[in-house]
Amino acid sequence: MIPNQRLSIKGKSFSYRTGGWKYSIGVRVLLLLLLAVIFYMSLSGKWIPERYDIRLGVVSDRTIFAPTQIENAIETQKAKEEAGKKVQPVFTIVPMKNEQMVAVIYEKLRQINADEQLALNDKVNVFRNVFPVIYKDHTDMIYRSISPGPGSDLFVAEMKARMEEQPYRIPEEMYFKFPRLLKEDLAVMEPVTVEIVTRLMADQIQNAQTARAKVAELVNASSLAKATNRELVQEIARFALTPNRFLNQQATDEEKAQARDNTKPVYINKDDILVQKGELVTEELYQRVKSAGLLKEKVNYWPQLGLAITSLLMTVGLYMFIRHSELPIRTNNVQLVMLIVIVLLNVVGMKIIALGQNLEYPYIGYLVPAAMGSMLIALMLDIPLAVISALLFSIISSVLFNINDELFDFRYGFVSLVTGLTSVFAAQRANQRASILKVGTMTSITGAAAVIALTLLENDYTRNQILFSTCFAVAAGLLTAVLVIGLMPFFEAAFGILSPLKLVELSNPNHPLLRKLLTETPGTYHHSVMVGNLSEAAAESVGADGLLCRVGSFYHDIGKTRRPSYFIENQMNIENPHDRIDPELSKSIIVAHARDGVEMLKEQRIPKPIRDIAEQHHGTTLLKFFYHKALKRQADEPGEEPVIEEDFRYPGPKAQSKEAAIVGIADGVEAAVRSLRNPTIEQIDSTVRKIIKERLDDGQFNDCDLTLKELETIAKTLNETLLGIFHSRIEYPSELPSKSDTKGVSKA
């Protein structure tokens, strides 16, 4: 005998006969391998790009495209060299303090001229030697004043070279004039010389000769009266003028290095051609392919093996969670196919967004609707499975949007995990399609918060980066909601999934079938609503799908609308037509309402789980009233054919799920209790347990997995609910006492 398996909605049971590919272990293994292949292909583009075997000087036999945006090392180096060449030499201004050298010169002139023991020629010789010594001592002092540090020695060497290149040679005849200067002449000449030197040294002097050419004009404009004084002041000033602007090679090199460092890399954009088919492979093209990591230098299959193991681990981890859960997906290949389709769609969405990501705009990765897959799984399959899927999607995101040299970029994985978990836990409260937009809004808020937190943790963020990243995260949440709303009808139709959102839509009283039920069979409509209340409470007490029971109850007797007057709840002030027809015909009419209901539900494309409830809620129970009526007729008319009990049973099938069985129990209980006049607590409890026991003894629960403990729980829940409906009321007296009686009572 072929065993039964259960297909569930949100973990609630629907039983189906096993057989075919839907429950085949071999098909399940192939589907899991397909899932592993999807993981492998989604990650291979980042971890293992295709490699090519090209050689220098050989024409390429294929066109090679850049797999991602990569840096063009050769062009980047050229750009850096150009930037370095454009940097102007850096010069440093050194305060030479040449006015001090002027003061030393005049002091020596006073000392030597005041020495009467020296002859004129001796003084001339002394002056020839004193001026170079003064110059050397002063420059040595300046060299020593340079602060030691990186490049200081090189800078001092540069100063010495420039100073030695531009010394001033005092004409020989001037040395014969210096001894003749009087003390008064020196007193007049010194301030003029200091003023001229100070004034000219205030400018930046790289070539001292240019500054010395201005001395004569300044001397002539001075207050000096004697021609000799003016002539000697010119020579002393020219001698004291030196360069004060020197090339700083260390600073120049640093500027060039900074310019090279600040040069933006030259990128080869994604899908740009690296090598054209038929193009000769030059050194530049070869290095370009090599820098992209696409050169097949040697056969290396280790990365492929590592990726294969990673994909298998992800698949096995997901399957082991399914295997150790009570989810029907562990045996139902239809749901496994749906899971694979959701994973595939989510990965495709990620890869589409990844196409627009580059090094300049990496935060485009925050636009990915990674929570779409998690939300669909939560709405269509199961919440815990959606949580595990959100974790897997975060791993894939951290790989697909990784722009660094590392294997993972935790930023995108973290944001994907936050949005995925938000969508999962918020979606379990979604009971209308419009509420999915609220879930998308919550996803946008948490995604934006995660992005802002990660961005603030970085030290080099900018205002634009925060703005764009946050906007992309907000847009991702809204895009997720739109995609989920658009994809849900596809999954509901293709895989026969009845989501809570669809159930809420079907429970709308404005649905054509429910409106027909209300207008044409108001008694049946009221009965269906009552059965819905009872079955929902009973189902939730044993962990079944209460919403499905409620909506299924609304439609379970829809077939009665074809012959409403033949059902007692619709017989308002009319004669019961069954009193005038044979019990066999009555049985056929009553039994037909289940079959008619299924046909009507099919015409309106009502999902199969609800059709199953309409078909199975009576199971193969016996129509006792008409069966006993037939037996009585046979007893009154001995010539009649024998009555067979099986002919007065519903055709079934028996309830294949908890939900169908519970609706059947609630249907019988509601009809039986409603027929009681002023039911008591004991009568209600006795009626409920009697109906459950009769169905249990009749084998109506054999094809579903209701346990005795669950049946006891259902009985208690139905009793509590019925007591709330048929609660006791105060019996008011038919006549009120007269005032006189009232007074008598009060006096008493």
Confidence band of 741 (pLDDT split at 50, 70, 90): very low
Neighbours of 569 (CB within 10 A): 18
Confidence band of 195 (pLDDT split at 50, 70, 90): very high
Whether pLDDT at 258 is above 70: yes
Confidence band of 688 (pLDDT split at 50, 70, 90): very high
For residues 534 and 550, give the distance between their C-alpha atoms in angstroms, rounded to a whole number.
Answer: 8
Mean pLDDT of 639-657: 84
For residues 438 and 485, give the distance between their C-alpha atoms in angstroms, rounded to a whole number.
Answer: 12
Whether pLDDT at 324 is above 70: yes
Structure token pair of residue 45: 């583009």
Helix (H, G, I), strand (E, B) or coil at 13: coil
Neighbours of 304 (CB within 10 A): 13
Residue-wise pLDDT tens digits, 132-180: 999 999 999 988 888 887 778 888 888 888 888 888 999 988 889 889 8
Mean pLDDT of 253-274: 80
Mean pLDDT of 324-344: 84
706 vs 71, residue with greater confidence: 706
Per-residue pLDDT, 200: 92
Per-residue pLDDT, 380: 82
For residue 280, list its beta bridge partners.
Answer: 59
Per-residue pLDDT, 734: 46
Domain with CATH 1.10.3210 in the chain: 507-725
Q: Which residue from 654, 670, 655, 661 is spatially nearest to 711, judged by alpha carbons? A: 661
Confidence band of 298 (pLDDT split at 50, 70, 90): low
For residues 291 and 266, give the distance between their C-alpha atoms in angstroms, rounded to a whole number.
Answer: 13
Task: Evaluate whether the domain defined by 507-725 bears CATH number 1.10.3210.
Answer: yes
Instruction: Transcribe 386-403 into DSSP letters.
Output: HHHHHHHHHHHHHHHT--
Per-residue pLDDT, 429: 64
- Alpha-helical runs (H) found in 202-241: 208-212, 215-220, 227-240
Whether pLDDT at 280 is above 50: yes
Per-residue pLDDT, 589: 87
> Percentage of the chain with pLDDT > 90?
20
231 vs 636, residue with greater confidence: 231
Whether pLDDT at 191 is above 90: yes
Tokens 């918020």 identify what position? Answer: 426
Per-residue pLDDT, 505: 80
- Alpha-helical runs (H) found in 364-432: 371-380, 383-400, 410-427
> Percentage of the chain with pLDDT > 70?
86
Q: Which residue from 58, 88, 627 is spatially nearest to 289, judged by alpha carbons? A: 58
Per-residue pLDDT, 535: 92
Mean pLDDT of 259-273: 77
Length of the chain: 748
The CA radius of gyration of the chain, in Å to the nearest whole number, is: 50
Phi first, then psi, for residue 268 (nearest 5°) are -100, 115
For residues 368 and 476, give the distance between their C-alpha atoms in angstroms, rounded to a whole number.
Answer: 6
For residues 679 and 666, give the distance between their C-alpha atoms in angstroms, rounded to a whole number.
Answer: 17
Confidence band of 291 (pLDDT split at 50, 70, 90): low
Per-residue pLDDT, 341: 92
Confidence band of 460 (pLDDT split at 50, 70, 90): low
Mean per-residue pLDDT of the chain:
82
Instruction: Region of 221 please: left (phi>0), alpha (psi -120 to 50) or beta.
Output: alpha
Contact yes or no for 645/632 (Cβ under 8 A): no
Tokens 């193009």 identify what position? Answer: 279
Structure token pair of residue 687: 């009626």
Per-residue pLDDT, 690: 93
Whether pLDDT at 493 is above 50: yes
Per-residue pLDDT, 532: 92
- Alpha-helical runs (H) found in 637-680: 658-674
Residue-wise pLDDT tens digits, 573-618: 777 788 788 888 888 888 888 899 899 999 888 888 899 999 999 9
Whether pLDDT at 563 is above 80: yes
Confidence band of 689 (pLDDT split at 50, 70, 90): very high
For residues 129 and 410, give the distance between their C-alpha atoms in angstroms, rounded to a whole number.
Answer: 77
User: What is the helix (H) or strand (E) element at residue 245, kind and residue range?
Assistant: strand 245-247
Residue-wise pLDDT tens digits, 612-639: 999 999 999 988 888 888 888 777 777 6
Q: Which residue from 646, 524, 671 is spatially nearest to 597, judged by alpha carbons? A: 524
Per-residue pLDDT, 539: 92
Whether pLDDT at 7 is above 60: no
Whether pLDDT at 11 is above 50: no
Is pTM beyond 0.85? Reply is no
Per-residue pLDDT, 728: 47
Whether pLDDT at 5 is above 80: no
Whether pLDDT at 343 is above 60: yes
The region of weakest confidence among 53-67, 439-453, 456-470, 582-596 is 53-67
Residue-wise pLDDT tens digits, 64-83: 766 666 677 777 888 888 88
Phi first, then psi, for residue 600 (nearest 5°) are -65, -40
Show the CA angle centred on residue 170, arms to residues 244 and 161, nearest 5°.
Answer: 35
Q: Work out the burial of residue 697: count CB atoms within 10 Å of its CB; fewer than 13 is exposed, 13-18 middle, 19 or more buried.
A: exposed
Number of helices (H), then strands (E), in the chain: 30, 8
